[in-house]
Amino acid sequence: MIFAGGFKDHQRNGEGIEYQPDGVKAKEGIWKDGKLVDGFIYDVLLADNKSLFNDEIKFLVDSYSLISMDSNDELLASCLKVEAGEKIIAQGTIKDAAEVWDEYYDDKLA
C-alpha cells in the first residue's frame, strides 16, 4: 500500500489517502494512531446489500477472480463510511461488482 498523508510517531495521523500498489485509491480520511477513524474505504466486495464478502474487507481490485460472469452468485461492490472507527455501508454506493470493474478498472489497470 502507498500512503500520502501525515505521520506522527511512525504511524498514520491526520488527513491521508491510502492507495493500492497500482495507484487505485483504497481509503481516505482522518487517521489516528495508524487507523482510519473518519473517512471512506472504496470498492469493497459485498456478499449482499448488508454484509461484507466473507465478513472481512476485501477490495474489488484484489479480487476480480472471484467474479464470474457465468455465475448466478452476484457480488456487489460498495463504499464503506468510517465514523468514529465504525464501518458502515455508505448509502447509495452499492453496485454490481462486475459493472464497477468494467466501468473503472478495465481501463485504469490495462
Separation CA 23–CA 104 (nearest Å): 13
Query: 7-41, pLDDT tens digit by residue?
Result: 999 999 999 999 988 888 999 999 999 999 999 99
74, amino acid identity: E
Res 68: pLDDT: 56
Q: What does pTM read for this prediction?
A: 0.86
- Domains in the chain: boundaries: 2-109
Res 17: pLDDT: 98
Q: Is 26 exposed, middle or buried (0-12, 13-18, 19+ CB in 10 A)?
A: buried
Query: 83-101, pLDDT tens digit by residue?
Result: 999 999 998 999 998 888 8
